[in-house]
Amino acid sequence: MTNTENGLIPPKELYTTNYDNVPAFQNWLCIVNPNAGASSKRKLQKQFITYLKIQPHLTVIEWEDKNNFKPVEDSINTYDYIIAIGGDGTVNRIAQAISGTSKKLGIVPLGSGNGLARTLGISTNPFKAWKQLKNAKPFLIDVGMCNNNLFLCTSGIGFDAEVARLFSTSNQRGLFTYIKLILTLALKYKSKNLKIEINGTTFNSKVFMVTCCNAGQFGNNFYIAPDAKLNDGAFNLVIIPKFSIITLIKIIFSLSIKSVKSSSYIIRKTINTFNVYAESPILIHFDGEAKQEEISVEFKILPKHLYVLK
C-alpha cells in the first residue's frame, strides 16, 4: 500500500531532507501521547505518526497509560534527544524526567493549548513542527517548581486550577470549550482568603487566582504575562483579586489580545520565589494539569535547567 493510499501526504521536502545538520536518528526517541488534542485533528495526527514510524533508525513509542510513565522513562535513559509528541501534559511529564541533565527536549505539539510550543514559535501543524526540528538548536530555559512539582509555563492556585480540572475531564477540547468553562465557572466560583509572602513581606487578601508564570501564556495564545521570558531567571507573578463578572469579561478580552499587562485589575510582580498559604486545602495546576490540594505552597525557579530544541 502506498503512502497516498494510507491518506498520508506529508510535505514533499520531508522525503528529501538532508539530515547533516541534526543528530543521527539513532539518538532520537519520539514519545507519542495518542490521546492528546482535539478529536477534529485525529486524522492529521495519525498521518504524522504513521510518517514517523517509516523513518529509518528512528524510535517511536507510545505513552498509553497516563498513570504509568515508568516504561517510557526507562526508554529515555538511552537517548540524547527526546521528542514529546502530545500536549502540555506530555511535555511536562517528559521534562520531569530530563530536567537538569544534558538531554534535549523537542516538541511536536498535538495538544489543545500547546503553551510551551507556541511560546517557542513551534508550528501546531505536526509536519511543519517536525521540519523545524531539523534545524533546531539546544536552548536552555528556566524551570519552575511548586512544592517540588515541575512546571514550564504556568502554575496556578484558585480559579485557573479549577478551570484546568474541569477542562481535563471535558469530552470536548479547544479554545471555545476553554472559554465556555471559564465563563460558566466564574458565575459560581468563590474567591479564596490567601496569605501571600514575597521577599519577607506578607499580605492577606481575598483572591480570585494566583498565577506563577515562567512563560507568558496558558496556551491557545491566551497571554496572562506577555513580558515573561523563559530564560531570565525570574517568574512573572500575577495576582487577580476578587471582582465582578463584568470585570472578568474585560480581563478575558485582555488575555486574548495580549494587553493584560496594562489591566488595572491585576497585580503583577517579577520575583524568583514566593509562598502562598490557604485556610484549607486548595487546588493547584502545573502547566494546565490540576493535580493536588495543598494548604502551604512554595514557588521557586531553577534557572537554565532544561535544554529545549528551538
Q: What is the pLDDT of residues 207-250, one digit of tens each?
A: 999 999 999 998 888 788 989 999 999 999 999 887 666 666 66
CATH architecture entry for 12-136: 3-Layer(aba) Sandwich (3.40)
Which comes out higher in pLDDT, residue 255 or 152? Answer: 152
C-alpha of 192 from chain center: 25
What's the pLDDT score for residue 179?
A: 77
Q: What is the helix (H) or strand (E) element at residue 268, kind and residue range?
A: strand 267-271
Q: Examine the pLDDT at 9 and tell me if it is beyond 60.
A: no
- Residue 13 confidence (pLDDT): 44
Give the pLDDT band of residue 3 (cuts 50, 70, 90).
Answer: very low
* Beta-sheet pairing, 138-146 with 149-151: antiparallel
Burial (CB < 10 A; 0-12, 13-18, 19+), residue 25, is middle
Can you give the pLDDT at residue 263?
58
CATH 2.60.200.40 domain extents, the chain: 149-302
Please determine, for residue 14, whether its predicted confidence score (pLDDT) is greater than 60.
no
The confidence band for 174, taking pLDDT boundaries of 50, 70 and 90, is low
- Scored b (16 or more CB within 10 A) or e, 80-109 reads bbbbbbbbbbbbbbbbbbbbeeebbbbbbb
Which of 175, 169, 163 minimizes the C-alpha distance to 41? Answer: 175
Every domain of the chain with CATH number 3.40.50.10330 lies at 12-136
In the CATH hierarchy, which top-level class contains the domain 149-302?
mainly beta
pLDDT tens-place string over residues 49-97: 999 999 888 999 999 888 899 999 999 999 999 999 999 999 999 999 9
Give percent of the chain with pLDDT exceeding 90: 56
pLDDT tens-digit map of 195-209: 999 998 998 989 999
Contact 163, 185 (CB under 8 A): yes
Q: Mean pLDDT across the chain, nearest whole number? A: 85
Query: pLDDT-based confidence at 169, cuts 50/70/90?
Result: confident
Which tens digit of pLDDT belongs to each residue from 266-280? Answer: 888 999 999 999 999
